[in-house]
Chains A and B, each alone.
Chain A
Amino acid sequence: MGKQTPLFDSHNQCGAKIVDFGGWDMPLHYGSQIEEHHVVRQDAGMFDVSHMTVVDVTGQDAKAFLRKLLANDVDKLKASGKALYSGMLNEKGGVIDDLIVYYIDDTNYRVVVNASTRDKDLAWMAEQAKDFSVSIEENSNYAMIAVQGPNAREKANSTFSDAQKAAVDGLGIFVAADSEGYFIARTGYTGEDGYEILVPAEQAGDFWSRLIDAGVRPCGLGARDTLRLEAGMNLYGNDMDEDVSPLEANMGWTIDWNDEARDFIGKSALAAEKEAGVKNKLVGLVLEGKGVIRAHMKVVVEGVGEGETTSGTMSPTLKKSIGMARVPKAAGEQVMLEIRGKLIPAKVVKPCFVRKGEALV
């Protein structure tokens, strides 16, 4: 038996199929993964993401520390609750993890990192913090529920107290509000509008039930993966890892070069990589023949070389197989995928297939 989130009993009551997910007992689906996918595209679904790790970074040097630790620059966060997506890199410029950092004030930040990378992330952060007056504390007082879909905010709002309703009124995208113990962020991993909500662990089951009563349907991690892939969002461990540069993982936009005086970890390696010429790129693929793209398939780029798929699935929205692949920079609009010994044509697209319920390819 693995670790269980505060919502484990709720999942069983909802008929979840529980699977091991990086040491956690998590719901894969509650009946049909594809139905859950469509619910999020068309209405409102919710995911237990309490296995993710919340880390509070506080102290006099919190800002200086995070400006060193992260490739994106927390200096651009000025309003309380504002969030930023960033890679946390090693000295070689490889991605240790991708994360979201929330600004509370100059001495208080909240970082949410992946579950599978928890131990190495905490160890890395502690090691890098040695020269800074900063405290790094894992915060395990919370459960985390992502409510996603075109009707997600409206339905979630109906479960909130008056104070919470007021706090989220006019809440911008990528901003969080802290109200009566709930940390409500307008973020997500599906390509739809919605919230990711930190709720005190002991209140999680009750909140889950209220969301069900409000018409929000429980969705498993299976649908979460097909939704994020349609939205073109990277999955750590699949689409990038410690041996992959953010410049080859479609994360160039998360590296902030503006302040030349800022020396973030991995900067010199990335600068050298740019100088030498980035070799590969992460692209989206739409399969044109029959089959299903999966991770680690060979991609043949005629006249250029070879690449490899990093993620793939049958897209429930597009009813076509889609995926992501790391291919040579010179790859054009057409490649071939090797599926069970046969070469099947695929179209190269920007890795963003569906957003806000709309097909983009």
Chain B
Amino acid sequence: MSNVPSDLKYVTSHEWIRLEDDGTVTVGITDHAQELLGDVVYVELPEIDSEVAVDDEMAVVESVKAASDIYAPLSGTIIEVNEALEDAPETVNSSPYDDGWMFKMKPSELSEMDNLLDSEAYSTEIEE
């Protein structure tokens, strides 16, 4: 069974979103997603300071199998990317919710958080 931490929010395209104390959010892909992808071999991260809207393709995760787009779960500005993934993309497999985070953003519309799934809804979503 995949690990779905209860303190995170989710979208059906398998990104997780953590709201930080300072109002920014951290985004990565879920344990379920990394399992589906298989060994991750390359991560293409967004540009810092780029403006994104919900569902924009903004990053790419490539596994041994194929390339998958990562979508912006919220609108806002990219403020930081996890550069460590460039040299160690396998961190996405080994630590999808911690060291394998992908980018941090400053949301422009915090109300969009209401559209995200909680852990229960996401768990239901990924059940076969």
Q: Is A112's CB within 8 Å of the partner chain B?
A: no
Q: Which residues of B contact A314 (CB under 8 A)?
A: 41-42, 62, 64
Q: Which residues of B contact A317 (CB under 8 A)?
A: none
Q: Is A86's CB within 8 Å of the partner chain B?
A: no
Q: Which B residue's beta carbon lies closest to that of A17?
A: B38
Closest Cβ–Cβ distance, residue B85 to chain A (whole Å): 12
Bound Cα distance from A28 to B38, whole angstroms: 10
Q: Which residues of B contact A313 (CB under 8 A)?
A: 64
- Which of B41, B42, B44, B62 is packed against the most chain A CB atoms within 10 Å? B41
Bound Cα distance from A294 to B62, whole angstroms: 10
Q: Is B19's CB within 8 Å of the partner chain A?
A: no
Q: Is B48's CB within 8 Å of the partner chain A?
A: no
Q: Which residues of A contact B44 (CB under 8 A)?
A: 290-291
Bound Cα distance from A321 to B44, whole angstroms: 14
Q: Is B110's CB within 8 Å of the partner chain A?
A: no
Chain A contact residues, majority secondary structure: mixed
Contact with A along B56-92 (1 / 0, CB 8 A): 0000101011110000000000000000001000100
Q: Which B residue's beta carbon lies closest to that of A225?
A: B64
Q: Which residues of B contact A226 (CB under 8 A)?
A: 64
Contact indicator B38/A294 (Cβ below 8 Å): no
Q: Is A29's CB within 8 Å of the partner chain B?
A: yes
Bound Cα distance from A294 to B64, whole angstroms: 10
Bound Cα distance from A222 to B39, whole angstroms: 10
Closest Cβ–Cβ distance, residue B62 to chain A (whole Å): 5
Q: Is A212's CB within 8 Å of the partner chain B?
A: no
Return the contact of B67 from the options A29, A32, A292 (Cβ within 8 A). A292
Bound Cα distance from A290 to B66, whole angstroms: 15
- Please give the residue numbers on chain B whose beta carbons come within 8 Å of chain A beta carbons, in ascending order: 38-39, 41-42, 44, 60, 62, 64-67, 86, 90
Known: A29-B38, A34-B41. 19 other contacts (CB 8 A): A28-B38, A33-B38, A33-B64, A34-B39, A34-B90, A222-B38, A222-B64, A291-B42, A291-B44, A291-B62, A292-B41, A292-B62, A292-B67, A294-B66, A294-B67, A314-B41, A314-B62, A314-B64, A340-B60
- Please give the residue numbers on chain A whose beta carbons come within 8 Å of chain B beta carbons, in ascending order: 28-29, 32-34, 222, 226, 290-292, 294, 313-314, 316, 321, 340
The 7 A-B pairs at the shortest CB distance, nearest first, are namely: A314-B41, A292-B62, A34-B39, A33-B64, A292-B42, A33-B39, A32-B39
